[in-house]
Amino acid sequence: MSATVKSGKGTGPEAENVPAAVRRVRAVRTKGGVSLRLDVRATVVGLLLLAVALAAGIALIGSGDYPMTPAEVFATLTGDGDPGQQYIVHELRLPRVLVGLLVGAAFGISGAVFQTVSRNPLGSPDVLGFAQGSSVGALVAIVYFQAGAFGVAAGAVAGGVGTGVAIFLLAWKRGIHGYRFVLVGIGASAMLYAMVLFLMTKANIVEATRATTWMTGSLNGRDGDQVQPLAVVCAVLVPLLLFHGRPLRMLEMGDDAAHALGVRVDRVRITVLLAAVVLVAAATAAAGPISFVALTAPQVARRLTLPRWLKGGGGAPMPGPNLVLSALMGSVLLVAADWASQRLFGADQLPVGVLTGVLGGGYLLWLLATERKAGRV
In the structure, what pLDDT confidence band is assigned to residue 30 with cuts at 50, 70 and 90?
low
The confidence score (pLDDT) of residue 33 equals 52
Does position 14 have pLDDT exceeding 70, yes or no?
A: no
pLDDT band at 357 (very low <50, low <70, confident <90, very high): confident
Q: 61 in a domain, yes or no?
A: no
Residue 249 included in any domain: yes
- Kindly tell me if the per-residue pLDDT of 177 is higher than 50: yes
Domain CATH for 290: 1.10.3470.10
C-alpha–C-alpha distance, residues 241 and 271, integer Å: 9
> Is the CB of residue 164 less than 8 Å from the CB of residue 277?
yes
Across 183-191, average pLDDT: 89
Give per-residue pLDDT as tens, 43-82: 888 899 999 999 999 999 988 888 888 899 988 988 887 8
The more confident residue out of 313 and 354 is 354
In a domain, 32, yes or no: no
- Label the pairing between strands 3-7 and 25-30: antiparallel
Q: What is the pLDDT of residues 76-124, one digit of tens each?
A: 988 887 888 899 999 889 999 999 999 999 999 999 998 888 877 777 8
Contacts of 340 (CB under 8 A, 6+ apart): 355
Is 67 contained in some domain? no
Reported confidence tier of residue 31, pLDDT bands at 50, 70, 90: low
Is pLDDT at 189 greater than 70 in this prediction?
A: yes
pLDDT at 19: 43
pLDDT: which is higher, 317 or 154: 154
pLDDT at 124: 83
pLDDT at 347 over 90: no
- Nearest residue to 282 via CA among 170, 143, 137, 182: 137
pLDDT-based confidence at 181, cuts 50/70/90?
confident
Does residue 52 lie in a domain region? no
The answer, yes or no, to whether residue 311 has pLDDT greater than 50, is: no
Kindly tell me if the per-residue pLDDT of 324 is higher than 60: yes
Is 197 a residue whose pLDDT tops 60? yes
Within a domain: 5: no
pLDDT-wise least confident of 8-17, 34-43, 130-139, 356-365: 8-17
- Give a three-class secondary structure readout of the chain: CCEEEEECCCCCHHHHHCCHHHHCEEEEEECCCCEEEEEHHHHHHHHHHHHHHHHHHHHHHCCCCCCCCHHHHHHHHCCCCCHHHHHHHHHHHHHHHHHHHHHHHHHHHHHHHHHHHHCCCCCCHHHHCHHHHHHHHHHHHHHHHCCCHHHHHHHHHHHHHHHHHHHHHHHECCCECHHHHHHHHHHHHHHHHHHHHHHHHHCCHHHHHHHHHHHHCCCCCCCHHHHHHHHHHHHHHHHHHHHCHHHHHHHCCCHHHHHHCCCCHHHHHHHHHHHHHHHHHHHHHHHCCCCCHHHHHHHHHHHHHCCCCCCCCCCCCCCCCCHHHHHHHHHHHHHHHHHHHHHHHCCCCCCHHHHHHHHHHHHHHHHHHHHHHCCCC
Instruction: Tell me the sheet residues that pair with 37.
Output: 27
Q: Which residue has the higher pLDDT, 376 or 191?
A: 191
* pLDDT value at 314 more than 60: no
**How many domains does the structure of the chain reveal?**
1
pLDDT tens column, 230-284? 999 999 999 999 998 888 888 777 777 777 877 887 788 888 988 999 999 999 9
Q: In terms of Cα–Cα distance, which of 331, 316, 305 is closest to 42?
A: 305
Cβ neighbours for 201, distance < 8 A, ≥ 6 positions apart:
none
Cα torsion at 286, 57, 300, 283 (round to 10°)?
-10
Where residue 305 falls among pLDDT bands split at 50, 70, 90? confident
119-143 pLDDT, tens digit per residue, is 777 778 888 888 889 889 999 999 8
Answer yes or no: is 77 within a domain.
no
| pLDDT at residue 266, rounded to an integer | 78
78, part of any domain: no
Does the structure show a pLDDT above 80 at 176? no
Task: Print the domain residue range for 353.
Answer: 88-373
